[in-house]
Structures are given as C-alpha cells and as structure tokens.
Amino acid sequence: MIRARGIEKRYGRKRVLNGIDLDVASGGFMLVTGSNGSGKTTLLRVVAGLAAPTRGTLEVDVDRARLGFLSHEPLVYRELSALENLELFGRLYRVHERRERIGMLLGRFGLWEARGERVSTYSRGMVQRLALCRALLHDPDLLVLDEPYSALDEQGAELLDRELDELVGRHTLVVSTHDPRRLARLATGRLALA
Amino acid sequence: MTYFADVATLTRKDLKVELRARDTLPAMLLFVLSTLVVFRFALPEGTSDDAAYGLLWVAIVFTALLGLARAWVPEQEHGVLDGLVLAPCDRSAIWLGKTLATLAFLVAAQVVALPAFVLFFAPLDLTALAGIALADVGICAVGSLMAAMAAAGRARELLLPLLVLPLAVPLVVGGVGAAISPDGERYLLLLALYDGVFAVLSWASFEYVVTE
Amino acid sequence: MLAAGLMGLAVLLALVIAPEDADQGISQRIFYIHVPIALTAYFCFGLGAWKALLLLWRGDERYDLESYVAVHQGTIFGSLTLITGSLWAKASWGVWWTWSSNQLVLFLVLFLFYCAYFMLRFSLEEGPRRARSSAVYALFGVVLIPISFLAIRLAEDFIHPTVFTRDGPQMTATIFTAFCVSWAAVTLLAYVLYRVELAGKRLDTDLRELREALQ
C-alpha cells in the first residue's frame, strides 16, 4: 500500500529526512520510532501527502478521501462544538450516514455528553479524542497517526487501545510513537529513525 | 456540483465561527465608524466632496485589511488548515469559501458605514455603490490569498498590509473614479477587469500557497 | 563571463560619447539611461514571473533562486528608474517628483509591490512554502503591471496633474542609434549582474549542501 524509496525532505538548509525507505503492505501496522527531532512527524506528513519529498519516490495507493491523519495538533475548530466539527468534516469527506457515524464515534470515545459544547472548553484529553474521531470519521483505509497517545488521558488511552485492536488487519496503519512497548504487539513492521 | 456544496459548507463554517467568536465584525464596524469621525476632523472646512470620497476609500481599504488580518486565524489555531487541505475537496474551494465569508463581513460593515458616510459627508450614487461592490470583491479575493501567504510566516500582521496595499491601488482608483467622475462607467470596467483577472489568479494559485 | 562584463562596460562608455552628438541638454542625456533602465526593469520582472511559473509548473526548486534573483535585479533597476526619473524631472521641469508621468507613478507602485516581495521572503522560512508563495507573488506582480498602468491612466482625470509638456525626443537616426546602443548596454549589464548574482547564490547553496553532506 505504501512504497517509499530514498525519501529526503529538506527545508532550505535543514535536512530532516535523509534517504528513508518504507514498505507497508495492505493491512499492515508500521510502527515508527525515534527520539524528538528525528523526523517522525515530517515522515508522517510526507506519507499523508501534506508535504512533498524533496527527493525520492513515494507511492501511496490511497487518495485523500481514503486517508485519515492524526497530527500533533488536533485539527479541529476551537469555536465550534464536537458535533459541528464532525459535521463539517463529515460533509467534506462525504461520509455516508453521517449523523449515525458521528453519533457512534462520539459515543465510543466518551464525548457524547459534551458534543454540543465548544472545543475551547474541552480538556486536552478530550480534544485529542475528538481529533481521533475526526481521523476515523470517514472510515479510512490508511490511517497515519502521529504520536496518538501523547495527549490522551488514561481513559482515552484505553479507548484508543481498543480501537486499534479492532482496526488492525482490516485497515493499514502507520503510527509514530515515543513508547514502542505499548504497540509492539500489534506491529507488523518497525522503522527506527535516527 | 459538489464543488459548490463544499464552498457552501466552508463559508457557513466561517460565518458560524465568527458568530461565536464575535471579534472581527464588531471591530471592523467600530473601526470604520471611528475612522470616519477622525476624517471629519482631518478635513478642513471648505474641502470639496471629492476629498471625502478619497477618504472613504482609505477607510474601506483599511477596514478590509482589518478583516483580512483575522481571516485565517481560526485555521491557525489547532492547525485546522492542514485538516482542510487533507480533505478530498478542491483546495481552491477553501479559498473561495474564505473569500465569500470575508466579503460578507466587509459588506456587513459597509451596510453601517455607508449610511454614516452619507450622513456625515456626501451622497453616494448608484455608480459609486457599484464601484464599492466591485472593489469589495477584488480586495477580498486578493486579500484572502495574501493573508494565507502571510499567515505561514512571522510578523503576519505587519506583512499583510504591505502585500495588499500596492495591489489595492487600482481598486482605489476605480472606486474613487466611480464616485466622482462623470464618466463613472469606465472605472467600473476597470474594477470588473481587475476582479476578473485577479480573482481567477487567486483561485488558481491558492493550492500552491497552501501545500508544500 | 568576465568578457561579457567588460563588453557591457565598454558599450556603456560608448553611450556617454553618443549623446554629446545630440546636444539637446542634460535632460536628453538622462533619457538615454532612464528609458533603457525602465525597460530592463520590466524585463527582469517578466523573467522573474516566468521562472516563477516554471517553479509552480515543474516543481523544480532551482527555479526559485532564478526567480528571486530576477526580481531582485528588477527591483534594483526599478529603483534606478525612479532615481533617474526624478533627475529627469528636475532637469526638465525643475521638480524632483511629478505625478504627471504615468511611467514614474507606475514604477512607484511596482517598487512598493516588489519591496513587499522581499518582506514576504524574509518572513517565511526557507523551504517549498516560501518558494511557492514567492512565485505566486511574482506572478501577481507581472499581472499588476498592465492593470496598474490602466488605472493610473484613468486616474489622470482626477489627480489633476500640472500640465507639463512631455518632451519626448524626436527620433532622428543618430539619436535612435545612440538609444539602441544604450539599451543594449543596459540590458547586457543587467544580464551580467543576473548571472553573477545567480552564480554567487548557487555557490552558496552548493557549499552549504556539501558541508551538510560531510557532517
């Protein structure tokens, strides 16, 4: 599903990625590890299509409509409610049975009660959970998650564990993390960035 | 037709966000009214009406700049712009949605400001109003794009006026000309030409400005 | 390349001799420099926009530097246009500035526009985003030229400039030759400067890349 050869990403003088190869089969779970500043976020952005590689080839068999991305930032509007945010992205992604799917996701991630309140009132953990809902909303074939556990509270982390367990196998995942132990059991491949 | 559905979704979102945040539109309204009052004192007794029209246009341009400076702020918070760029919709739809919303705010501010102008200074005929309408479109179209460019860097509030003001020169010429010249139609044509050319250019370029 | 530079300078010297034939006063002399400089500035901006288009179309970042240098040269020649134009105004009409010269006013607007180009580049971090935004802005500049010119023409109606008779030179054969020589010289100079600056900047980036690769 993903084939990358010799990926280099430069921002002017700074070389962030230097000759990365990546292979992820359909249904696979690629774990990307590395310390801060090793380029994990940049690599995931390149895979998601937010940044074009300076050099190298990248083939991703999935278009934007079938790709879900979780970034360092939540990618949701502060002034809108969880429901309104998901409505917006639901429309943009042309999600089938939008209302039901939104309701289901909000319930699954424990945001149903707070669904009508503005995101600006949420705790950090809640915002991250909403970000996950947003990434999963359109049932993407490929999920690219950048350190999904980083902002989650304990309850959220358990919910995410459960979710990943269900997604593995049917969907392809590329996940970056600080703490590989939590996800090691699910991973079908690993990439360590220097 | 999904393109226009996307644009509608995005414009609605911008209007909703502004309705909640309630910071841009009131500021624009207050700004334009205060500016008109200041102009009253800045114009010495006996100056012609023409000078007043000139100052009206200064007020319009700077009010628009105020609105444009805030245009992409909701997208900067929490990095939402990436979320929009990732969506399957055409990137130019993001620009169009934002332009229409900014235009709505500018027109809303003018609905209050123009009667005030007529009250304080001088009348506005149909040609003058048409000129204002056309120039509004032009400045929002170009300004949306420039604001997006400036937003990615530092000192964005300082940069935006620098980018927009030279581009606004033809608009001011067109607007003032439409108001004071007996041959106002020529100026309306100039504005229409500006709008046509620069709106298309902005529409087509947005994709490049917002992706890497 | 150095030979081209020398030739450029030599031709420039030649043009100092030529106008003395014309013997129509200092203002005429300035014309020989002012107009070619203005034309060269337009050409540089056009080149910058062309390179910008290539950058957006082909995606090769090499075009970013070429576009930047072209715009830089254009801005330098643009400011020279303003200065020589001001000198011309002083020599011809006794004022340092006049709004009646559409060309001069246009250059003022363009000068401000392209100064903002550098502010834009300065405020963005190096990388594809800066390259693309600069390219889009350079394209806007080139489109602005005709539209601004039109606007300034129309603005004559109500800016009410003091009426100065524009003494455009009658193009006799010798004057025309002198003008062409001067134009060629200035264009050559611009070309040389462009190549020199581009080479210098390329060397800079190559050195940096080499340093990085060695680390």
Neighboring chains of B (3 or more beta-carbon pairs < 8 A): A, C
Q: Which value does ipTM take for this structure? A: 0.91
* Chain B residues whose beta carbon lies within 8 Å of the beta carbon of residue C151: 169-170, 173-174, 190, 194
Contact with chain B for residue A71, Cβ under 8 A: yes
Instruction: Find the residue in C nearest to B152 (Cα).
Output: C124
How far apart are alpha carbons B137 and B99 in whole angstroms?
A: 8
Q: What is the pLDDT of residue B206?
A: 95
Q: What is the token pair recorded at C109?
A: 């607007």
Gyration radius (Cα) of chain A, Å? 16
Q: Which of A91, A95, A119 to mutate to test the interface with B (most CBs of B within 10 A)?
A: A91
* Chain A residues whose beta carbon lies within 8 Å of the beta carbon of residue C125: 11-12
Contact with chain B for residue C53, Cβ under 8 A: no
User: B20 CA to chain C: closest CA distance, Å?
Assistant: 31
Contact across the interface for B166 and C109, Cβ inside 8 Å = yes
Contact across the interface for C125 and A12, Cβ inside 8 Å = yes
E strand intervals along chain A: 2-11, 14-24, 29-33, 55-60, 67-70, 142-146, 172-177, 189-192
Q: What is the pLDDT of residue C160?
A: 56
- In whole numbers, what is the pLDDT of chain C averaged over residues? 81
Contact across the interface for B79 and A78, Cβ inside 8 Å = no
How far apart are alpha carbons C59 and C52 in whole angstroms?
A: 10
**Residue C170 banded pLDDT, cuts 50, 70, 90:** low
A68 Cβ contact list (under 8 Å, min separation 6): A135, A136, A137, A138, A140, A142, A143, A144
User: B93 CA to chain A: closest CA distance, Å?
Assistant: 11
**Does C179 or A7 have the greater pLDDT score?**
A7
A120, A133, A124: which is closest to A151 by C-alpha? A124
**Model confidence over C26-84: pLDDT tens digits?**
666 677 778 888 999 999 999 999 999 999 998 888 899 999 999 999 999 999 999 98
* Chain B residues whose beta carbon lies within 8 Å of the beta carbon of residue C152: 173
Contact with chain A for residue C212, Cβ under 8 A: yes
- In whole numbers, what is the pLDDT of chain B averaged over residues? 91
* Chain C residues whose beta carbon lies within 8 Å of the beta carbon of residue B152: 124, 129, 133
Strand partners, A14: A11
Instruction: Find the residue in A nearest to B22 (Cα).
Output: A79
Q: What is the pLDDT of residue C165?
A: 46
Contact across the interface for B186 and C140, Cβ inside 8 Å = no
Contact across the interface for B155 and C143, Cβ inside 8 Å = no
Instruction: Find the residue in A nearest to C64 (Cα).
Output: A12
**Model confidence over A123-171: pLDDT tens digits?**
989 999 999 999 999 999 999 999 988 888 888 888 888 888 888 888 9
Which residues in B170-193 are b (16+ Cβ under 10 Å) and which e? bbbbbbbbbbbbeebeebbebbeb
Q: Between A and C, how many residue pairs show a Cβ–Cβ distance under 8 A? A: 19
Give me the residue from A11, A15, A51 closest to C125, CB to CB.
A11
Q: Which of A46, A88, A137, A139 to mutate to test the interface with B (most CBs of B within 10 A)?
A: A88
B133 Cβ contact list (under 8 Å, min separation 6): none
Q: What is the pLDDT of residue B106?
A: 95
Gyration radius (Cα) of chain C, Å? 20
Q: Which phi and psi angles does A177 have, rounded to 5°?
A: -155, 155
For C208, what's the count of Cα atoms within 13 Å in the CB-facing half-sphere?
Answer: 12
Cβ count near B56 (within 10 Å): 27
User: B210 CA to chain A: closest CA distance, Å?
Assistant: 9
How far apart are alpha carbons A42 and A58 in whole angstroms?
A: 14
Instruction: Find the residue in B nearest to C150 (Cα).
Output: B190
**Model confidence over B46-86: pLDDT tens digits?**
777 788 888 899 999 999 999 999 999 999 888 899 999 99
* Chain C residues whose beta carbon lies within 8 Å of the beta carbon of residue A54: 61, 128
* Chain C residues whose beta carbon lies within 8 Å of the beta carbon of residue B197: 143, 147
Q: Which of C15-19, C96-100, C107-111, C129-133 has the lowest mean pLDDT?
A: C15-19
Contact across the interface for A13 and C212, Cβ inside 8 Å = yes
Q: Which phi and psi angles does A20 have, rounded to 5°?
A: -95, 135
User: A77 CA to chain B: closest CA distance, Å?
Assistant: 7
A153 Cβ contact list (under 8 Å, min separation 6): A123, A124, A125
Q: Whole-model pTM? A: 0.90
How far apart are alpha carbons A32 and A148 in whole angstroms?
A: 12
**Residue B190 banded pLDDT, cuts 50, 70, 90:** very high
User: A103 CA to chain C: closest CA distance, Å?
Assistant: 38
Contact across the interface for C212 and A51, Cβ inside 8 Å = no
**Residue C12 banded pLDDT, cuts 50, 70, 90:** low
Contact across the interface for C152 and B153, Cβ inside 8 Å = no
Specify whether the CB–CB gap between B50 and B180 falls below 8 A: yes
**Model confidence over B106-140: pLDDT tens digits?**
999 999 999 999 988 888 889 999 999 999 999 99
**Residue A77 banded pLDDT, cuts 50, 70, 90:** very high
Query: Please, which residues 4-63 of chain A have a Cβ atom closer than 8 Å to chain C?
Result: 10-15, 51-52, 54
User: A134 CA to chain B: closest CA distance, Å?
Assistant: 9
